[in-house]
Amino acid sequence: MYFDDIVGPDYCDFTGERMAMADFNSRSQNAKISAEYYSRLQDFPGSWKHQIFVYHNFAHPDYCRFVGGEQNALAPDAALKD
């Protein structure tokens, strides 16, 4: 999700789109909007990477299905190891 009016000297968590996201998150148990942190770590020019968010629908039947490809999957017992 891209939000265009959230970066600048006059924007804060208590006005506009940021306040709407917080309100949405507080009203819904199964759906949330969260910052997308991976892009923020990349060396991309501009502020757009701070305007990308992710919608999570925890009630979706495929929400916990891994979609990253076999090369990124953990071995079935990897989560059990320290």
pLDDT mean over 47-74: 85
Q: Are 59 and 31 in contact (CB under 8 A)?
A: yes
**Alpha-carbon gap, residue 76 to 27, rounded angstroms:** 36
**Looking at residue 63, what is its pLDDT?**
92
Q: Are 7 and 51 in contact (CB under 8 A)?
A: yes
Chain-centre distance of CA 41, in angstroms?
Answer: 14
What tens digit of pLDDT does each residue of 13-41 get?
999 999 999 999 999 999 999 999 888 88
Whether this prediction's pTM lies above 0.95 is answered by no
Give me the percent of the chain exceeding a pLDDT of 70.
84
Give me the percent of the chain exceeding a pLDDT of 90.
46
Chain-centre distance of CA 69, in angstroms?
Answer: 20
Give φ, ψ of 71 to 5 degrees: -65, -20
